[in-house]
Amino acid sequence: MADRKKPKKASRSTGARAPKRARKPRLSEQQERFVHEYLSLWPRNATAAYGRAGYHATGQAARTAASRLLKQPAVAAAIEEHRQEEATRLAVSRESVLAEYAKIAFSDPRRLFREDGSLKNLEEMDDATAAALVQMEIEEEYADIEPEVELEPQAHGGKLKRRAKRRIAVGRTAKIKWGDKRAALDSIVRMMGYAKDNSTLGTPQNPVHMMLADMASRKSALTPIETPEEDDDE
């Protein structure tokens, strides 16, 4: 009698294993204090934070050690995590930053004025125009005019003259400072990746130089055309 083969047990397919998460680098107590000190003040100064965190090096040694400490994986990861949390809390994104740069870059000073040419108050300006302003100062000038004379009755009879000072506005000066439009445009170019390799600028390979050389090699609009002079009939 032939031996019967035992049926093989069906193996369970577990599928691809999920990749293990990289462990978060751990900070030492002093490194944690350094990160806290570095992020607590603006502008951020790694050397100053290094000293406040309890490290003992000074001078150039402290600057070198602080720079090296910033590059350590655990420290760099903690600082980046804080930046991400701060950006989320403040709703800061690439799109929102670009939008603010655009308000400065494409601001139009005509929006500051009413139809009659008078300057708008801040509450009258649209959001984009107000956001493009860096500073706005209003100075008003006043002048004293002839005081008014009032007669005030007295209890014992008669009237007492009283002079009330009067002042009127005679001038108004507005000083307005705009955001740097060129800097805003440069920032937009960098963030959008519009900047091109300009290593060829100033060299014969520069397209502008090539075009001018081509035009100079043949008669073109750059070459003046001589016209024969006509004799005047007398």
Looking at residue 47, which CATH number applies to its domain?
1.10.10
Q: Residue 4, exposed/middle/buried by CB under 10 A (0-12, 13-18, 19+)?
A: exposed
Alpha carbons 28 and 48: distance in angstroms, whole number: 19
What 3-state class would DSSP assign to 144? strand
Say what the pLDDT of residue 222 is. 45
**In this structure, is residue 48 part of a structural domain?**
yes
Alpha carbons 195 and 208: distance in angstroms, whole number: 17
Say what the pLDDT of residue 176 is. 84
Alpha carbons 53 and 83: distance in angstroms, whole number: 20
What 3-state class would DSSP assign to 122? helix
**In this structure, is residue 39 part of a structural domain?**
yes
**In this structure, is residue 211 part of a structural domain?**
no
Structural domain count of the chain: 1
- DSSP annotation string for 41-83: SSS--HHHHHHHTT----HHHHHHHHHHHHTSHHHHHHHHHHH
**In this structure, is residue 160 part of a structural domain?**
no
- pLDDT of the chain, 234 residues: tens digit per residue: 555 555 555 555 555 565 566 666 788 999 999 999 999 888 889 999 999 999 999 999 999 999 999 999 999 999 999 988 887 887 778 888 888 899 988 989 888 889 998 888 888 999 888 888 888 887 878 787 777 767 777 777 667 667 677 777 777 788 888 888 888 888 888 888 887 645 444 555 555 555 556 655 554 444 444 555 555 444
**Phi (first) and psi of residue 137, to 5 degrees:** -125, 135
**In this structure, is residue 191 part of a structural domain?**
no
**In this structure, is residue 170 part of a structural domain?**
no
What ranges in the chain are assigned the alpha helix state H? 29-40, 46-52, 59-70, 73-89, 94-105, 127-132, 181-192, 207-216
| CB distance 87 to 93 below 8 Å | yes
Domain, as residue range, for 35: 29-89
Alpha carbons 181 and 178: distance in angstroms, whole number: 8
- What single-letter DSSP state applies at residue 16? S
What 3-state class would DSSP assign to 211? helix
**In this structure, is residue 45 part of a structural domain?**
yes
**Phi (first) and psi of residue 189, to 5 degrees:** -60, -45
Say what the pLDDT of residue 32 is. 93
